[in-house]
Chain A
Amino acid sequence: MRKNQVAVVGAAETTELGVIPNASQLQLHADAALNAIADAGLKLSDIDGFATAVETPQQVCHYLGIKPTWVDGTSVGGCSFMLHVRHAAAAIEAGLCKTVLITHAESGKSMIGKAPRSIPADSLQGQFEAPYGVYGPPSMFPIPVLRFMKTYGITHEQLASVAVVQREWAARNPRAMMKDPITVADVLNSRMIAYPFRLLQCCLVTDGGGALILTSADRARDFPRKPVYIMGTGESVETPMVSQMETFNSSRAFKTAGPLAFREAGIAHKDVDHLMIYDAFAHLPLFGLGDLGFMPHEETGKFIADGNTRPGGKLPLNTNGGGLSYMHSGMYGMYALQESVRQMRGIAPAQVPNAKISVCHGVGGMFAASGTIVFTNER
Protein backbone atom coordinates (compact mmCIF):
# COMPACT_ATOMS: atom_id res chain seq x y z
CA MET A 1 0.00 0.00 0.00
CA ARG A 2 1.24 3.52 -0.77
CA LYS A 3 1.78 5.58 2.34
CA ASN A 4 -0.23 8.63 3.40
CA GLN A 5 -2.95 8.18 0.75
CA VAL A 6 -5.71 7.61 3.30
CA ALA A 7 -6.46 9.48 6.51
CA VAL A 8 -8.53 9.22 9.68
CA VAL A 9 -10.98 12.14 9.61
CA GLY A 10 -13.29 11.06 12.40
CA ALA A 11 -12.51 9.36 15.71
CA ALA A 12 -14.47 8.99 18.91
CA GLU A 13 -15.17 6.66 21.79
CA THR A 14 -18.53 6.00 23.37
CA THR A 15 -19.93 8.89 25.41
CA GLU A 16 -19.22 6.89 28.53
CA LEU A 17 -16.57 4.29 29.28
CA GLY A 18 -16.41 1.89 32.18
CA VAL A 19 -19.62 0.43 33.52
CA ILE A 20 -22.56 1.25 31.24
CA PRO A 21 -25.61 -0.64 32.52
CA ASN A 22 -28.08 1.34 30.41
CA ALA A 23 -27.00 0.33 26.89
CA SER A 24 -26.75 -2.88 24.91
CA GLN A 25 -23.62 -3.78 23.00
CA LEU A 26 -25.32 -2.85 19.73
CA GLN A 27 -26.33 0.54 21.07
CA LEU A 28 -22.74 1.14 22.17
CA HIS A 29 -21.71 0.58 18.52
CA ALA A 30 -24.24 3.21 17.50
CA ASP A 31 -23.16 5.65 20.22
CA ALA A 32 -19.52 5.41 19.11
CA ALA A 33 -20.50 5.68 15.44
CA LEU A 34 -22.68 8.76 15.98
CA ASN A 35 -19.90 10.42 17.98
CA ALA A 36 -17.38 9.74 15.21
CA ILE A 37 -19.78 10.98 12.52
CA ALA A 38 -20.24 14.21 14.48
CA ASP A 39 -16.48 14.50 14.99
CA ALA A 40 -15.98 14.28 11.21
CA GLY A 41 -18.85 16.64 10.43
CA LEU A 42 -20.55 14.00 8.29
CA LYS A 43 -24.01 12.50 7.92
CA LEU A 44 -24.67 8.76 8.17
CA SER A 45 -25.63 8.82 4.48
CA ASP A 46 -22.04 9.85 3.63
CA ILE A 47 -20.77 6.45 4.81
CA ASP A 48 -20.36 3.96 1.94
CA GLY A 49 -17.94 1.54 3.54
CA PHE A 50 -18.30 -0.26 6.88
CA ALA A 51 -16.25 -2.63 9.04
CA THR A 52 -16.76 -4.18 12.43
CA ALA A 53 -15.91 -7.31 14.44
CA VAL A 54 -17.87 -9.78 16.61
CA GLU A 55 -21.16 -8.11 15.66
CA THR A 56 -21.76 -8.58 11.94
CA PRO A 57 -21.64 -5.67 9.47
CA GLN A 58 -25.30 -6.34 8.58
CA GLN A 59 -26.31 -6.08 12.22
CA VAL A 60 -24.65 -2.74 12.84
CA CYS A 61 -25.37 -1.27 9.37
CA HIS A 62 -29.06 -2.04 9.67
CA TYR A 63 -29.25 -0.63 13.19
CA LEU A 64 -27.54 2.59 12.07
CA GLY A 65 -29.33 2.81 8.73
CA ILE A 66 -26.15 2.64 6.65
CA LYS A 67 -26.26 1.31 3.07
CA PRO A 68 -22.67 0.34 2.30
CA THR A 69 -21.08 -0.76 -0.98
CA TRP A 70 -18.05 -2.21 0.82
CA VAL A 71 -18.04 -4.19 4.07
CA ASP A 72 -15.43 -6.02 6.12
CA GLY A 73 -16.36 -8.35 8.96
CA THR A 74 -12.84 -9.50 9.77
CA SER A 75 -13.03 -10.76 13.34
CA VAL A 76 -9.70 -11.98 14.64
CA GLY A 77 -9.94 -10.69 18.19
CA GLY A 78 -8.89 -7.40 19.73
CA CYS A 79 -6.69 -6.28 16.84
CA SER A 80 -9.51 -6.68 14.29
CA PHE A 81 -9.76 -2.89 14.05
CA MET A 82 -6.12 -2.54 13.02
CA LEU A 83 -6.89 -4.97 10.21
CA HIS A 84 -10.02 -2.99 9.34
CA VAL A 85 -7.92 0.17 9.02
CA ARG A 86 -5.52 -1.65 6.72
CA HIS A 87 -8.30 -3.15 4.60
CA ALA A 88 -10.22 0.13 4.48
CA ALA A 89 -7.16 2.03 3.32
CA ALA A 90 -6.67 -0.49 0.52
CA ALA A 91 -10.36 -0.34 -0.42
CA ILE A 92 -10.38 3.47 -0.53
CA GLU A 93 -7.21 3.48 -2.64
CA ALA A 94 -8.75 0.90 -4.99
CA GLY A 95 -11.86 3.05 -5.39
CA LEU A 96 -14.26 0.51 -3.85
CA CYS A 97 -15.64 3.13 -1.47
CA LYS A 98 -14.94 6.69 -0.35
CA THR A 99 -15.76 6.98 3.34
CA VAL A 100 -15.36 4.06 5.71
CA LEU A 101 -16.79 3.76 9.22
CA ILE A 102 -15.18 1.23 11.57
CA THR A 103 -16.98 0.48 14.83
CA HIS A 104 -16.19 -1.47 17.93
CA ALA A 105 -18.26 -1.84 21.05
CA GLU A 106 -18.48 -4.39 23.78
CA SER A 107 -20.65 -4.75 26.81
CA GLY A 108 -17.74 -6.60 28.40
CA LYS A 109 -18.68 -5.85 32.00
CA SER A 110 -22.47 -5.50 31.94
CA MET A 111 -22.93 -8.25 29.31
CA ILE A 112 -26.05 -6.66 27.79
CA GLY A 113 -26.85 -7.97 24.34
CA LYS A 114 -23.55 -9.80 24.22
CA ALA A 115 -23.29 -13.47 23.33
CA PRO A 116 -21.09 -15.38 25.81
CA ARG A 117 -17.94 -16.79 24.28
CA SER A 118 -17.96 -20.56 24.12
CA ILE A 119 -15.59 -23.22 22.87
CA PRO A 120 -17.30 -26.07 20.95
CA ALA A 121 -16.27 -29.46 22.37
CA ASP A 122 -15.39 -30.76 18.90
CA SER A 123 -13.19 -27.81 17.93
CA LEU A 124 -9.43 -28.29 18.21
CA GLN A 125 -9.42 -25.93 21.21
CA GLY A 126 -12.30 -27.88 22.74
CA GLN A 127 -10.45 -31.16 22.33
CA PHE A 128 -6.87 -30.19 23.09
CA GLU A 129 -6.97 -27.17 25.41
CA ALA A 130 -10.31 -26.82 27.20
CA PRO A 131 -10.07 -30.23 28.96
CA TYR A 132 -7.03 -28.99 30.90
CA GLY A 133 -8.87 -26.28 32.77
CA VAL A 134 -8.33 -23.18 30.67
CA TYR A 135 -11.07 -20.72 31.48
CA GLY A 136 -10.92 -17.36 29.81
CA PRO A 137 -7.94 -15.22 28.84
CA PRO A 138 -6.31 -14.95 32.31
CA SER A 139 -5.71 -18.71 32.31
CA MET A 140 -4.40 -18.76 28.73
CA PHE A 141 -2.67 -15.54 27.74
CA PRO A 142 0.05 -15.78 30.43
CA ILE A 143 0.99 -19.38 29.55
CA PRO A 144 4.10 -18.31 27.56
CA VAL A 145 5.36 -15.94 30.29
CA LEU A 146 7.50 -18.31 32.39
CA ARG A 147 9.32 -19.57 29.30
CA PHE A 148 9.85 -16.01 28.04
CA MET A 149 11.21 -15.00 31.48
CA LYS A 150 13.61 -17.93 31.60
CA THR A 151 14.88 -17.45 28.05
CA TYR A 152 15.57 -13.75 28.44
CA GLY A 153 16.22 -13.36 32.17
CA ILE A 154 13.13 -11.20 32.71
CA THR A 155 12.18 -10.73 36.40
CA HIS A 156 8.84 -10.65 38.21
CA GLU A 157 9.66 -7.09 39.31
CA GLN A 158 10.17 -5.99 35.70
CA LEU A 159 6.85 -7.51 34.69
CA ALA A 160 5.23 -5.72 37.63
CA SER A 161 6.74 -2.41 36.53
CA VAL A 162 4.67 -2.53 33.33
CA ALA A 163 1.52 -2.00 35.40
CA VAL A 164 3.17 0.68 37.54
CA VAL A 165 4.29 2.77 34.55
CA GLN A 166 0.94 2.52 32.82
CA ARG A 167 -0.82 3.67 35.97
CA GLU A 168 1.37 6.79 35.81
CA TRP A 169 -0.04 7.50 32.35
CA ALA A 170 -3.58 6.72 33.49
CA ALA A 171 -3.26 9.23 36.32
CA ARG A 172 -3.05 11.93 33.63
CA ASN A 173 -6.18 10.72 31.86
CA PRO A 174 -9.56 11.79 33.31
CA ARG A 175 -11.32 8.96 31.43
CA ALA A 176 -9.08 6.22 32.80
CA MET A 177 -10.79 3.68 35.06
CA MET A 178 -7.84 3.28 37.46
CA LYS A 179 -5.87 6.39 38.37
CA ASP A 180 -4.39 5.83 41.84
CA PRO A 181 -0.61 5.38 41.85
CA ILE A 182 0.71 1.86 42.49
CA THR A 183 4.13 0.43 43.27
CA VAL A 184 5.91 -2.74 42.17
CA ALA A 185 5.21 -4.12 45.66
CA ASP A 186 1.48 -3.36 45.25
CA VAL A 187 1.47 -5.34 42.01
CA LEU A 188 3.38 -8.28 43.48
CA ASN A 189 1.09 -8.35 46.51
CA SER A 190 -2.16 -8.16 44.57
CA ARG A 191 -4.41 -11.20 44.35
CA MET A 192 -2.98 -14.15 42.42
CA ILE A 193 -4.93 -14.82 39.22
CA ALA A 194 -2.81 -17.23 37.21
CA TYR A 195 0.79 -17.55 38.38
CA PRO A 196 2.99 -15.75 37.49
CA PHE A 197 0.36 -13.03 37.00
CA ARG A 198 -1.56 -11.18 39.66
CA LEU A 199 -4.62 -8.99 39.46
CA LEU A 200 -2.77 -5.77 38.59
CA GLN A 201 -1.02 -7.48 35.68
CA CYS A 202 -4.35 -8.40 34.06
CA CYS A 203 -6.52 -6.06 32.01
CA LEU A 204 -9.66 -4.41 33.28
CA VAL A 205 -13.09 -5.63 32.23
CA THR A 206 -15.29 -2.73 31.16
CA ASP A 207 -18.01 -1.57 28.76
CA GLY A 208 -17.42 0.83 25.91
CA GLY A 209 -16.71 1.32 22.26
CA GLY A 210 -15.07 3.46 19.65
CA ALA A 211 -15.32 4.33 15.98
CA LEU A 212 -13.08 5.65 13.23
CA ILE A 213 -13.84 7.28 9.89
CA LEU A 214 -11.36 7.04 7.03
CA THR A 215 -11.28 8.70 3.63
CA SER A 216 -8.71 9.58 0.96
CA ALA A 217 -5.96 11.99 1.97
CA ASP A 218 -7.01 14.36 -0.81
CA ARG A 219 -10.55 14.64 0.60
CA ALA A 220 -9.27 14.73 4.17
CA ARG A 221 -8.14 18.34 3.82
CA ASP A 222 -11.78 19.48 3.73
CA PHE A 223 -12.70 17.96 7.10
CA PRO A 224 -12.90 19.90 10.37
CA ARG A 225 -10.22 17.86 12.20
CA LYS A 226 -6.53 17.66 11.50
CA PRO A 227 -6.10 14.60 9.27
CA VAL A 228 -4.13 11.65 10.64
CA TYR A 229 -2.53 9.74 7.78
CA ILE A 230 -2.12 6.00 7.45
CA MET A 231 1.60 5.71 6.86
CA GLY A 232 2.12 1.96 7.10
CA THR A 233 0.15 -1.19 7.90
CA GLY A 234 0.74 -4.85 8.65
CA GLU A 235 -1.28 -7.88 9.66
CA SER A 236 -0.97 -11.60 10.28
CA VAL A 237 -2.42 -14.57 12.14
CA GLU A 238 -0.72 -17.53 13.79
CA THR A 239 -2.84 -19.99 15.78
CA PRO A 240 -6.05 -19.93 17.84
CA MET A 241 -4.35 -22.28 20.33
CA VAL A 242 -1.77 -20.63 22.56
CA SER A 243 -0.19 -24.05 23.15
CA GLN A 244 0.58 -24.31 19.43
CA MET A 245 2.57 -21.10 18.99
CA GLU A 246 5.86 -21.72 17.17
CA THR A 247 7.70 -20.48 20.25
CA PHE A 248 6.92 -18.77 23.56
CA ASN A 249 9.96 -16.52 23.09
CA SER A 250 8.16 -14.28 20.59
CA SER A 251 4.96 -13.97 18.60
CA ARG A 252 5.16 -14.93 14.92
CA ALA A 253 2.11 -12.76 14.18
CA PHE A 254 3.81 -9.75 15.85
CA LYS A 255 7.05 -10.40 13.96
CA THR A 256 5.15 -10.46 10.69
CA ALA A 257 2.75 -7.54 11.12
CA GLY A 258 5.11 -5.10 12.84
CA PRO A 259 8.01 -5.08 10.39
CA LEU A 260 5.54 -5.01 7.45
CA ALA A 261 4.11 -1.76 8.78
CA PHE A 262 7.55 -0.25 9.41
CA ARG A 263 8.69 -1.15 5.87
CA GLU A 264 5.56 0.25 4.29
CA ALA A 265 5.95 3.50 6.26
CA GLY A 266 9.63 3.65 5.41
CA ILE A 267 10.54 4.51 9.00
CA ALA A 268 13.20 3.38 11.45
CA HIS A 269 12.56 2.74 15.15
CA LYS A 270 14.23 6.01 16.14
CA ASP A 271 11.55 7.85 14.13
CA VAL A 272 8.76 6.64 16.44
CA ASP A 273 7.54 9.40 18.77
CA HIS A 274 4.66 7.52 20.33
CA LEU A 275 3.89 3.84 20.73
CA MET A 276 0.84 1.80 21.63
CA ILE A 277 1.24 -1.95 22.29
CA TYR A 278 -2.01 -3.68 23.18
CA ASP A 279 -1.56 -4.71 26.80
CA ALA A 280 -4.19 -7.26 27.69
CA PHE A 281 -1.62 -8.59 30.16
CA ALA A 282 1.70 -7.24 31.43
CA HIS A 283 3.92 -9.33 29.16
CA LEU A 284 2.47 -7.95 25.91
CA PRO A 285 4.57 -4.75 25.85
CA LEU A 286 7.72 -6.86 26.30
CA PHE A 287 6.82 -9.16 23.44
CA GLY A 288 5.88 -6.11 21.35
CA LEU A 289 9.07 -4.14 21.98
CA GLY A 290 11.13 -7.18 21.04
CA ASP A 291 9.09 -8.49 18.13
CA LEU A 292 8.68 -5.06 16.55
CA GLY A 293 12.45 -4.72 16.67
CA PHE A 294 12.82 -1.83 19.10
CA MET A 295 15.41 -3.82 21.08
CA PRO A 296 16.44 -7.40 21.82
CA HIS A 297 13.84 -9.19 23.96
CA GLU A 298 16.30 -9.55 26.86
CA GLU A 299 16.42 -5.76 27.23
CA THR A 300 12.66 -5.14 27.23
CA GLY A 301 12.00 -5.75 30.93
CA LYS A 302 14.83 -3.49 32.05
CA PHE A 303 13.84 -0.85 29.49
CA ILE A 304 10.38 -0.51 31.02
CA ALA A 305 11.51 -0.92 34.65
CA ASP A 306 14.10 1.83 34.10
CA GLY A 307 11.34 4.28 33.18
CA ASN A 308 11.98 4.69 29.46
CA THR A 309 8.29 4.32 28.61
CA ARG A 310 6.90 6.47 31.43
CA PRO A 311 5.78 10.10 31.10
CA GLY A 312 8.87 12.06 30.08
CA GLY A 313 10.68 8.87 29.01
CA LYS A 314 12.29 8.47 25.60
CA LEU A 315 9.66 6.09 24.21
CA PRO A 316 6.17 7.02 25.51
CA LEU A 317 4.18 3.77 25.55
CA ASN A 318 0.49 3.16 26.19
CA THR A 319 -0.12 6.79 27.05
CA ASN A 320 -3.84 6.40 27.80
CA GLY A 321 -3.05 3.97 30.64
CA GLY A 322 -3.57 0.91 28.45
CA GLY A 323 -5.78 -2.10 28.93
CA LEU A 324 -4.31 -2.43 32.42
CA SER A 325 -5.54 0.97 33.65
CA TYR A 326 -7.54 2.87 30.99
CA MET A 327 -10.23 0.45 29.91
CA HIS A 328 -10.55 -2.99 28.33
CA SER A 329 -13.93 -4.06 27.06
CA GLY A 330 -12.56 -7.32 25.65
CA MET A 331 -11.28 -6.12 22.28
CA TYR A 332 -9.03 -3.24 23.23
CA GLY A 333 -7.47 -2.55 19.81
CA MET A 334 -9.94 0.23 19.02
CA TYR A 335 -8.92 2.19 22.14
CA ALA A 336 -5.24 1.92 21.24
CA LEU A 337 -6.09 3.32 17.79
CA GLN A 338 -8.13 6.13 19.37
CA GLU A 339 -5.18 7.12 21.55
CA SER A 340 -2.79 7.13 18.57
CA VAL A 341 -5.21 9.38 16.68
CA ARG A 342 -5.53 11.73 19.69
CA GLN A 343 -1.75 11.92 19.97
CA MET A 344 -1.41 12.69 16.25
CA ARG A 345 -4.12 15.34 16.52
CA GLY A 346 -2.30 16.81 19.51
CA ILE A 347 -5.30 16.53 21.84
CA ALA A 348 -4.44 13.58 24.08
CA PRO A 349 -4.87 14.10 27.86
CA ALA A 350 -1.22 13.06 28.29
CA GLN A 351 0.01 14.59 25.06
CA VAL A 352 3.51 13.72 23.85
CA PRO A 353 4.97 17.08 22.75
CA ASN A 354 5.54 17.42 18.98
CA ALA A 355 4.72 13.76 18.27
CA LYS A 356 4.68 13.19 14.50
CA ILE A 357 4.73 9.40 14.15
CA SER A 358 2.70 6.97 16.22
CA VAL A 359 2.90 3.18 15.98
CA CYS A 360 -0.15 1.27 17.13
CA HIS A 361 0.28 -2.48 17.57
CA GLY A 362 -2.51 -4.89 18.36
CA VAL A 363 -2.96 -8.50 19.36
CA GLY A 364 -5.96 -10.74 18.74
CA GLY A 365 -6.85 -13.79 20.81
CA MET A 366 -3.91 -15.21 22.75
CA PHE A 367 -1.21 -14.19 20.25
CA ALA A 368 -3.56 -15.60 17.58
CA ALA A 369 -3.50 -12.51 15.38
CA SER A 370 -1.83 -9.17 15.02
CA GLY A 371 -2.23 -5.84 13.27
CA THR A 372 0.06 -2.82 13.21
CA ILE A 373 -0.71 0.70 12.01
CA VAL A 374 1.79 3.54 11.63
CA PHE A 375 0.12 6.95 11.81
CA THR A 376 1.53 10.36 11.02
CA ASN A 377 0.20 13.90 11.13
CA GLU A 378 2.50 15.11 8.33
CA ARG A 379 1.90 14.23 4.73
Chain B
Amino acid sequence: MAEPQRARPKPTPETQHFWDGTKAGELRLQRCDACAQVYFPPRPFCPSCASRKVSVFKASGKGFLYSYVINHRPAAPGFTPPYAIAVVELDEGPRMMSSIINCPQTPEALELDMKLEVAFQELDDKITLPVFRPAKG
Protein backbone atom coordinates (compact mmCIF):
# COMPACT_ATOMS: atom_id res chain seq x y z
CA MET B 1 0.00 0.00 0.00
CA ALA B 2 1.30 3.46 -0.86
CA GLU B 3 2.29 5.70 2.05
CA PRO B 4 -0.33 8.34 2.75
CA GLN B 5 0.87 11.55 1.15
CA ARG B 6 1.58 14.88 2.71
CA ALA B 7 -1.50 17.13 2.53
CA ARG B 8 -1.40 19.27 -0.61
CA PRO B 9 -3.52 22.38 -1.04
CA LYS B 10 -5.98 22.44 -3.92
CA PRO B 11 -6.67 26.02 -5.01
CA THR B 12 -10.19 27.34 -5.59
CA PRO B 13 -11.16 30.25 -7.87
CA GLU B 14 -10.96 32.56 -4.83
CA THR B 15 -7.47 31.45 -3.78
CA GLN B 16 -5.79 30.86 -7.16
CA HIS B 17 -3.99 34.25 -7.08
CA PHE B 18 -2.37 33.30 -3.79
CA TRP B 19 -0.97 30.04 -5.14
CA ASP B 20 0.06 31.68 -8.43
CA GLY B 21 1.95 34.15 -6.23
CA THR B 22 3.86 31.58 -4.20
CA LYS B 23 4.86 29.80 -7.42
CA ALA B 24 6.25 33.12 -8.64
CA GLY B 25 8.09 33.67 -5.34
CA GLU B 26 5.63 36.23 -3.96
CA LEU B 27 3.46 36.22 -0.84
CA ARG B 28 0.25 37.87 -2.00
CA LEU B 29 -2.31 39.40 0.33
CA GLN B 30 -5.48 41.36 -0.33
CA ARG B 31 -6.38 44.89 0.69
CA CYS B 32 -9.81 46.47 0.68
CA ASP B 33 -9.98 49.49 -1.65
CA ALA B 34 -12.76 50.98 0.46
CA CYS B 35 -11.53 50.64 4.06
CA ALA B 36 -7.84 49.65 3.53
CA GLN B 37 -8.20 46.49 5.64
CA VAL B 38 -5.56 43.87 4.80
CA TYR B 39 -6.87 40.34 5.23
CA PHE B 40 -6.17 36.62 4.89
CA PRO B 41 -7.20 33.95 3.88
CA PRO B 42 -8.16 35.08 0.37
CA ARG B 43 -11.72 35.99 -0.62
CA PRO B 44 -13.09 38.42 -3.23
CA PHE B 45 -14.63 40.83 -0.70
CA CYS B 46 -13.60 42.59 2.46
CA PRO B 47 -14.50 40.68 5.66
CA SER B 48 -14.37 43.98 7.53
CA CYS B 49 -16.70 46.22 5.46
CA ALA B 50 -18.13 43.82 2.83
CA SER B 51 -16.87 45.85 -0.13
CA ARG B 52 -16.24 43.81 -3.27
CA LYS B 53 -13.60 46.29 -4.41
CA VAL B 54 -10.40 44.63 -3.24
CA SER B 55 -6.86 44.44 -4.62
CA VAL B 56 -4.15 41.81 -4.52
CA PHE B 57 -0.69 43.05 -3.58
CA LYS B 58 2.74 41.60 -2.87
CA ALA B 59 3.34 41.48 0.88
CA SER B 60 6.70 42.29 2.46
CA GLY B 61 7.10 38.66 3.56
CA LYS B 62 8.24 39.89 6.97
CA GLY B 63 6.66 39.08 10.29
CA PHE B 64 7.22 37.53 13.71
CA LEU B 65 6.57 34.27 15.50
CA TYR B 66 3.19 34.63 17.22
CA SER B 67 2.84 31.11 18.66
CA TYR B 68 3.56 27.47 17.88
CA VAL B 69 3.55 23.87 18.98
CA ILE B 70 6.28 21.32 18.36
CA ASN B 71 4.39 18.27 17.23
CA HIS B 72 5.73 14.93 18.44
CA ARG B 73 2.83 12.54 17.90
CA PRO B 74 0.87 11.65 15.97
CA ALA B 75 2.85 13.05 13.04
CA ALA B 76 1.09 14.05 9.84
CA PRO B 77 1.94 12.00 6.75
CA GLY B 78 5.11 13.33 5.13
CA PHE B 79 6.40 14.93 8.35
CA THR B 80 9.22 13.72 10.59
CA PRO B 81 8.65 14.59 14.24
CA PRO B 82 9.39 16.67 16.13
CA TYR B 83 8.38 19.58 13.90
CA ALA B 84 7.02 23.03 14.66
CA ILE B 85 3.59 24.15 13.53
CA ALA B 86 3.75 27.92 13.78
CA VAL B 87 1.50 30.92 13.45
CA VAL B 88 3.25 33.94 11.98
CA GLU B 89 1.97 37.48 12.31
CA LEU B 90 2.81 39.39 9.14
CA ASP B 91 3.93 43.02 9.26
CA GLU B 92 0.80 43.86 7.24
CA GLY B 93 -1.40 42.50 10.06
CA PRO B 94 -2.86 39.12 9.09
CA ARG B 95 -1.62 35.90 10.64
CA MET B 96 -1.01 32.61 8.87
CA MET B 97 -0.06 29.10 9.85
CA SER B 98 3.33 28.02 8.56
CA SER B 99 6.48 26.02 9.10
CA ILE B 100 9.73 27.51 10.40
CA ILE B 101 12.76 26.40 8.41
CA ASN B 102 16.53 26.90 8.92
CA CYS B 103 15.96 26.73 12.65
CA PRO B 104 16.19 23.90 15.21
CA GLN B 105 12.70 22.70 16.09
CA THR B 106 13.23 23.30 19.81
CA PRO B 107 11.68 25.62 22.43
CA GLU B 108 15.13 27.19 22.93
CA ALA B 109 15.54 28.12 19.26
CA LEU B 110 11.93 29.03 18.59
CA GLU B 111 11.52 32.23 20.57
CA LEU B 112 8.17 33.95 20.52
CA ASP B 113 8.33 37.31 18.75
CA MET B 114 11.46 36.38 16.78
CA LYS B 115 11.60 38.14 13.39
CA LEU B 116 10.84 35.95 10.41
CA GLU B 117 10.89 36.23 6.65
CA VAL B 118 9.07 34.25 4.01
CA ALA B 119 10.70 31.50 1.97
CA PHE B 120 9.17 29.22 -0.61
CA GLN B 121 9.06 25.44 -0.59
CA GLU B 122 8.12 23.72 -3.84
CA LEU B 123 5.91 20.72 -3.06
CA ASP B 124 5.37 19.75 -6.69
CA ASP B 125 5.06 21.44 -10.08
CA LYS B 126 1.68 22.87 -9.11
CA ILE B 127 2.04 23.95 -5.49
CA THR B 128 4.67 26.03 -3.75
CA LEU B 129 4.15 26.58 -0.01
CA PRO B 130 5.06 29.78 1.80
CA VAL B 131 7.17 28.95 4.86
CA PHE B 132 9.22 31.18 7.15
CA ARG B 133 12.83 31.34 8.34
CA PRO B 134 14.59 33.50 10.92
CA ALA B 135 15.11 36.96 9.40
CA LYS B 136 18.67 37.97 8.51
CA GLY B 137 20.19 40.82 10.47
On whether the beta carbons of A195 and B6 are closer than 8 Å, the reply is no
CB-defined contacts of A132 to chain B, threshold 8 Å: 85-86, 97-99, 129
Of all chain B residues, the one with the shortest Cβ separation from A129 is B97
The A106-131 residues at the B interface (CB cut-off 8 A) are: 119-122, 124, 126-131
Bound form: Cα–Cα A144–B85 in Å: 11
Asked if residues B85 and A195 are in contact (CB atoms below 8 Å), the reply is: no
* A244-B95 contact, Cβ under 8 Å, with A132-B85, A143-B68: yes
Across the interface, B123 reaches (CB within 8 A) one of A131, A138, A150, A248, namely A131
Which chain B residues numbered 71 to 102 have a C-beta less than 8 Å away from chain A? 71-79, 82-83, 85-87, 95-99
Contact across chains for B79 and A144 when beta carbons are under 8 A apart: no
- Please name all residues of chain B whose beta carbon is closer than 8 Å to the beta carbon of A138 when the two chains form the complex: 71, 73-74
B66 touches A128 (CB 8 A): no
Q: Does the CB pair B67–A127 fall under 8 Å?
A: no
Interface size band for A? 35 or more
Beyond A129-B97, A147-B112, A243-B97, whether A139 also contacts B7 by CB under 8 A is: no
In whole angstroms, what is the CA distance A136 to B85 when docked? 12
**B residues near A121, Cβ cutoff 8 Å:** 7-10
Give CA–CA (A151, B91) in the complex, Å. Answer: 19
- Complexed CA–CA distance, A132 and B96 (Å): 11
Which residues of the partner chain B approach A192 to less than 8 Å between Cβ atoms? 70, 72-73, 82
| CB of A193 closer than 8 Å to a CB of B | yes
- Closest residue of chain B to A127 (Cβ to Cβ) is B9
Main secondary structure of the interface of B (DSSP, over half): loop
Do residues A126 and B10 form an inter-chain contact, with CB atoms below 8 A? yes
Q: Is A194 an interface residue (CB 8 A)?
A: yes
Query: In the bound complex, do residue B123 and residue A134 qualify as a contact, i.e. CB atoms below 8 Å apart?
Result: no
Interface size in chain B (residues, C-beta < 8 A): 39
Contact between A196 and B123 (Cβ–Cβ < 8 Å)?
Answer: no
Q: Is the CB of A133 within 8 A of B112?
A: no
Known: A133-B79, A134-B97, A195-B82. A126 touches B9 (CB 8 A): yes
User: Which residues of the other chain, A, contact B10 by a CB distance below 8 angstroms?
Assistant: 120-122, 126-127
For A133, A139, A195, which residue has the most chain B Cβ atoms within 10 angstroms? A133
A142 sits at the interface (CB 8 A): yes
Query: In the complex, are the beta carbons of B74 and A147 less than 8 A apart?
Result: no
Q: How far is the CA of A142 from the CA of B86 in the complex (A)?
A: 11
Docked Cα-Cα span, A134 to B11, in Å, equals 19
B114 CB, nearest partner CB in chain A, Å: 12
Q: Which residues of A contact B41 (CB under 8 A)?
A: 124, 127-128, 241, 244
Instruction: Say whether A146 faces chain B, with CB atoms less than 8 Å apart.
Output: yes
How far, in angstroms, from A150 to B107 measured CA to CA in the complex? 13
Q: B11, B73, B86, B123: which contacts A193 (Cβ < 8 A)?
A: B73
**Assuming A243-B97, A244-B95, is B9 touching A136 (CB within 8 A)?**
no
How near does chain A come to B79, taking the closest CB pair, in angstroms?
Answer: 4
Indicate whether A335 reaches chain B with its CB closer than 8 angstroms.
no
Q: Is A248's CB under 8 angstroms from B66's CB?
A: yes
Residue B69 lies at the interface, judged by CB distance under 8 Å to chain A: yes
B6 to chain A, nearest CB (A): 7
Instruction: A338 to B77: give the CA distance in the assembly, Å.
Output: 37
Decide: A128 and B71 in contact? CB cutoff 8 A: no
Q: Does A197 contact B (CB under 8 A)?
A: yes
Q: Are A134 and B76 in contact (CB under 8 A)?
A: yes
Per-residue 0/1 for B1-43: is the Cβ within 8 Å of any A Cβ (1 yes, 0 no)? Answer: 0000011111110010001000000000000000000001100
Q: List 28 A-B contacts (CB under 8 A).
A: A122-B12, A127-B12, A127-B41, A128-B41, A131-B6, A131-B123, A132-B86, A132-B99, A133-B75, A133-B83, A133-B85, A134-B85, A135-B71, A135-B75, A138-B74, A139-B76, A143-B69, A146-B112, A147-B67, A191-B73, A192-B70, A192-B73, A194-B69, A194-B72, A241-B41, A243-B87, A248-B66, A248-B87
The 9 residue pairs across chains A and B that have the minimum distance between CB atoms: A135-B76, A147-B67, A127-B9, A130-B7, A195-B70, A243-B97, A121-B10, A122-B10, A194-B69
B residues with CB within 8 A of A:
6-12, 15, 19, 40-41, 66-79, 82-83, 85-87, 95-99, 107, 112, 123, 129
Given contacts A131-B123, A145-B69, 19 further A-B contacts (CB under 8 A): A121-B7, A126-B9, A132-B86, A132-B129, A139-B76, A140-B85, A143-B85, A147-B112, A192-B70, A192-B82, A194-B72, A195-B70, A195-B82, A195-B107, A196-B107, A241-B41, A241-B97, A243-B87, A243-B96
